[in-house]
Amino acid sequence: MSGHSKWHTIKHKKGAADAKRGKIFTRIIKELTVAARHGGGDPDKNPRLRTVIADAKAVNMPGDNIKRAIRRGTGEEEGVQYDEITYEAYGPGGVAIMIETLTDNKNRTVGEMRHTLTKFGGKLGDANSVARMFEKKSTISVDKSKVAEDTLMTAALDAGADDMVDDGSAWEVISAPNAHSAVLEAIRALGIEPESATVAMVPMNTVKLSGKEAQQMLKLMDALDDHDDTKNVFSNADIDEKEIEASLA
């Protein structure tokens, strides 16, 4: 697997996610609005919305916030509307990067993404320049200390997962995108909250980075991830956990 899941798993362990709780709320509100706009406000009929609501509850978002965001998406309440835009880019060492955003101002977002990439040794690519290097998959990362391998594998496969792989300190459960909600719910039914769970752009091949290039790439990922309009950042960089931990120390 790429460094993406390792990066987010280790950040979570170090409390970086908790420190950015306000930013997490903002992103989830955007996702609730977009999910409701495209699939309706009934979570029973909208699997994407159901998954985002579960994410909101997992970070203890107040119910009123969730309901308001959904009403904005369905048009029952006035509010900002967001567009989903994915940017393709290159990072240090020529690695491929996919940046998923939710924005209310396309021109502002593309300008700021271009500036951030340039600052950390990357550059914005053309449409379809790197997308062919990835395939869309559900990826759910679970800390190994939270569950036995056999228990997790049985629950995940029974719910429709395709595979489970060893990703260092975590198990990575891989599924087709349309199985994401069912697999996530099955894992949560075990009493486990995953370190990360997303429908991700998974690289078909990875590029090993170390030393200066690895540290520069991690700084770039952090800067992109920290942007208010960013939903997800994916890359085909393969970076050792020790390098990631050093960057977060």
Domain boundary among 42, 74, 106: 74
Confidence class for position 1, pLDDT limits 50, 70, 90:
very low
121 and 176 part of one domain: yes
| Domain contains 79 | no
Does residue 143 belong to any structural domain of this protein? yes
Query: Residue 176 falls within a domain, yes or no?
Result: yes
Q: Tell whether 80 is covered by a domain.
A: no
Comparing 31-45, 46-60, 85-99, 211-225, the range with the smallest average pLDDT is 46-60
Q: How high is the pLDDT of residue 25? A: 87
| pLDDT tens-digit series, residues 200-211 | 888 999 999 999
Tell me: pLDDT of 213 over 90.
Answer: yes
Q: What is the CATH number of the domain that holds 30?
A: 1.10.10.200
Proportion of the chain above pLDDT 70, given as a percent: 91
Distance, CA of 3 to CA of 68 (rounded, Å): 35
Contact predicate 55/28, CB 8 Å: yes
63-109 pLDDT, tens digit per residue, is 999 999 999 999 998 888 899 999 999 999 999 999 999 999 999 99
pLDDT at 20 over 80: no
**Residue 130 reports pLDDT greater than 70:** yes
pTM score of the predicted model: 0.80
Residue 96 has a pLDDT of: 96
Residue 24 predicted with pLDDT over 70: yes
pLDDT of residue 209: 93
Tokens of 27: 């992103």
The answer on 237 and 149 residing in a single domain is yes
* The pLDDT value given to residue 45: 93
- The CATH number of the domain holding residue 94 is 3.30.70.980
**Rounded mean pLDDT, 120-141:** 93
Does 50 have pLDDT greater than 50?
Answer: yes
**137 shares a domain with 213:** yes
Name the token pair of 112.
């700021």
Name, in order, each residue with C-beta under 8 angstroms of 87's C-beta and a sequence gap of 6 or more: 98, 99, 101, 110, 113, 124
pLDDT given at position 243: 83
Quick one: 94 and 55 in the same domain?
A: no
Asked if residue 242 and residue 215 are part of one domain, the reply reads yes
Q: Is residue 94 in some structural domain?
A: yes
Does one domain contain both 93 and 4? yes
Whether residues 2 and 26 fall in one domain:
no
Is there a domain that residue 47 lies in?
yes
Using the 3D structure, point to which of 39, 54, 74 is the last residue of a domain.
Answer: 74
DSSP secondary structure letters along the chain? --HHHHHHHHHHHTTHHHHTHHHHHHHHHHHHHHHHHHH-S-TTT-HHHHHHHHHHHHTT--HHHHHHHHHHHHTSS-----EEEEEEEE-GGG-EEEEEEEES-HHHHHHHHHHHHHHTT-EEPPTTSSGGGEEEEEEEEEEGGGS-HHHHHHHHHHTT--EEEE-SSEEEEEE-GGGHHHHHHHHHTTT---SEEEEEEEESS-EE--HHHHHHHHHHHHHHHHSTTEEEEEE-EE--HHHHHHHH-
Grade residue 21 by pLDDT with cuts at 50, 70 and 90. Answer: low
Instruction: Please say whether the dihedral angle defined by the alpha carbons of residues 66, 71, 74 and 78, taken in this order, is positive or negative.
Output: negative
Query: Are residues 22 and 5 both part of a single domain?
Result: no
Higher-pLDDT residue of 6 and 225 is 225
Q: What is the mean pLDDT of the chain?
A: 89
pLDDT of residue 119: 96
Please check whether residues 66 and 96 belong to one and the same domain: no
Cα angle, residue 19 at apex, residues 239 and 190 outer, rounded to 5°: 75
Taking CA atoms, 8 is separated from 11, 100, 142, 160, 186, in Å, by 5, 15, 11, 24, 21
Q: What is the DSSP string of 98-130?
A: EEEEEES-HHHHHHHHHHHHHHTT-EEPPTTSS
Same domain flag for 196 and 162: yes
Examine the domain organization and report whether 8 and 29 are in the same domain.
Answer: no
User: What percentage of the chain exceeds 90 in pLDDT?
Assistant: 63
Mean pLDDT: which of 77-81, 120-124, 193-197, 221-225 is highest?
Answer: 120-124
Query: How many domains does the structure of the chain reveal?
Result: 2
97 and 124 in one domain?
Answer: yes
Mean pLDDT for the stretch of residues 129-145: 92
Within a domain: 137: yes
Residue range(s) defining the domain that contains residue 56:
15-74
- Domain presence at residue 211: yes
